Structure 1
Amino acid sequence: MRKKSAKKSKSMKDKPAAGRTWPRMPDGAVRGTLLGLMWIAGLGGLGFGAVYGYPELRSYAASKLSVEAIEIRLPPLPAWLEVLDTGEQTGRTVEFVNGVKARIIEEISTAARARLGRDPLVRGDLIATRESLMATGWFQSVDSIRRDQPGLVVIEATFVQPFTMVRDAQGSHLVDEQGRLLPLHYPAKSRLARLPVITGVRFARPSQPGMKWEGKDVAAALRLVSFLERPDDRGARPWLSQIVEVDASEYNRTEALWLTTNKGARLLWGRPPGEERGIEVPATTKFAYLEQLHRDYGRVDRDLRELDLVTDRVYAR
């Protein structure tokens, strides 16, 4: 009986007494804990706002701007604009080139704004803007379009590279090496640097920039210009500036191309490089003829009216 009583007494001793309280935290510790929790909540709110709220604020700010007020920052204009020869006096050429630059900037900016919405969060607007810029014919590629600020759009792109010009009754028109039309036309006497202009082509120029100029005569003339222009072990070719035209007017009938000099002389070149047949000498031999003529006479035309470069000797026609 005593054992049971002792066991019961021990059990009652371990049980907490009624009304017993746990130790209280000091008031300062409570306040510190609450302040810490408030700081954590505040920082979390700032982080949430930065991630989710800032773009919305930018969107709201941009929505208050008109599309016309958005600044379009373009890549630098291509250097080839500076080497244009309009056939006019220097002052008039500079004036013309400056006017062309202003028109290019206005044309591209207008194309960008036409598809650019005011909300920077709408990705579809940027995609549509890229398509609009490519349709101008001024760019080989549009690499990125981004909004750096609500009122600023930065465009990173690569301008097309012209190769030469094709001349028709309406003027001189830039084309690339594949014969695709660029969206820029010049006065009839214009040249690009020292490269000859292609004349006498059969078909009218393409209706839109970026389209290829049709005709085997254009393709043949482009191959000849490329052969004359390409830098390689054939030398510097100081005489190339004397050749102002590649005349393709007879190509569709005889497959012959003519070179016209800056004194109006005509040099019969024959078929385009790589397509020679029969007794016609290769293009490298004709090139050597031009080198020799310039070395001996200072001019590739010898100050004559017509020369024939087709066979194994050069003779006046």
Structure 2
Amino acid sequence: MARKRKRSTPKFIPALCNGLVELSKRPIVLAWVFTVCSLTILTALSVPKLRAAHPAPADITITFKHVPAWLDDSLLNELRDVAREHLANEPIARNGLISVSTALAQTGWFEEVNQVRWTSNSNAEIDGNFLIPYAKVDSGGRIFFVDGYGKRLPSRIGKTVKDSYHFITLKQLNYPAPPRPGMQWDGDDVVASLKLLQLFYDYDWAAQIDSLDLSRFGGSQVILFNTKTPSQFVWGSPPNQEKALEALAIQKLERLAKAHESFGAIDQGVSGQFDLTDPNSFIRK
């Protein structure tokens, strides 16, 4: 009769048991092993969860803090689309938010993008300082916006500002438009025009002014402006640069304010030509 073979215990089992016994005698090493194992398990579990939490592009909502009242809705939606596209294609992490901030800054509509952050699983909040249009410029058959420092704002198909906001147009400038947004518009006529607009925009009657005409600025430093009626006014020299025997800017503004108060319009509601430069009177030609 054949003898039964005894099952032999694998040699690695006693070695493993001895190793565990020795490990239990070293609590610090045991703690390190436990920590490494725990982190490995948590990482394996969290990565699929993070990927699953990434919302689809259509589910992402974008909220801008401090949206300017003048900003047209079509431009606001365009900026939201820029942010949404980058958020949908980047991981929900710091690098993705930085990518959105960079993309928005490159649109040219922001002085600075301060912060982009997730406020929920599907909503991102953007805090940025918008560039503010200060005037329109008619140049080369196109209309551009510039800020208060004469920097050209981006051009786009569609509205930039709401119809309820009025911006005076600069015409007949000496230099063409800068080739790129963010660049300064050349010329002393631009600087002088913006200084004058700083005075005009403080008054309700500024909405009656359609444009500043700089066609005579290059030779004689004279600024003209046109009303919507239409009428043409000779304003004269830039503010604080008046010639001898020329009315000061404060006198000219007082005359316009008085005409608006008396007639409801600075041009008295009639088409004509007016000269504000005389130191003694408001002259209608």
Q: TM-score, normalised by structure 1?
A: 0.64
Which has the higher mean CA deviation after the structures are superposed, 53-62 or 221-230?
Answer: 53-62
Residue 75 of structure 1 aligns to a residue whose secondary structure is strand
Structure 2 residue 188 is the aligned partner of structure 1 residue 223: no
Q: Percent identity?
A: 20
- Please list every run of 5 or more consecutive structure 2 residues that lacks an aligned counterpart in the other structure: 1-29
Structure with more of its chain in helix, by fraction? 1
1:258 to 217, 220, 224: 224
Q: CA deviation at 1:265?
A: 0.8
Distance 2:222 2:45 in 1: 66
Pairwise mapping of residues 289-308 of structure 1 onto structure 2 (< 5 A)?
289-302=255-268, 303-308=270-275
Aligned to 1:130: 101
- Please list every run of 5 or more consecutive structure 1 residues that lacks an aligned counterpart in the other structure: 1-40, 83-96, 231-236
CA contact (8 A) 1:268 1:310 kept: yes
Distance 2:221 2:263 in 1: 29
CA contact (8 A) 1:140 1:159 kept: yes
Residue 178 of structure 1 aligns to a residue whose secondary structure is coil
Residue 143 of structure 1 aligns to a residue whose secondary structure is strand
Q: What is the total number of aligned residue pairs between the two structures? A: 250
Aligned to 2:110: 139
Residue 182 of structure 1 aligns to a residue whose secondary structure is coil
Distance 2:92 2:78 in 1: 27
Q: CA deviation at 1:199?
A: 1.8
Q: CA deviation at 1:104?
A: 3.7
Q: TM-score, normalised by structure 2?
A: 0.71
Q: CA deviation at 1:228?
A: 1.2
Aligned to 1:61: 50
1:106 to 81, 87, 106: 81
Aligned to 2:284: 316
Aligned to 1:172: 143
Residue 153 of structure 2 aligns to a residue whose secondary structure is strand
Which has the higher mean CA deviation after the structures are superposed, 253-262 or 288-297?
Answer: 288-297
CA contact (8 A) 1:196 1:245 kept: yes
- Shift in alpha-carbon separation, 1:191–1:178, aligned structure 2, 3 A: farther
Distance 1:208 1:56 in 2: 49
Distance 1:273 1:62 in 2: 61
| CA RMSD across the alignment | 3.9
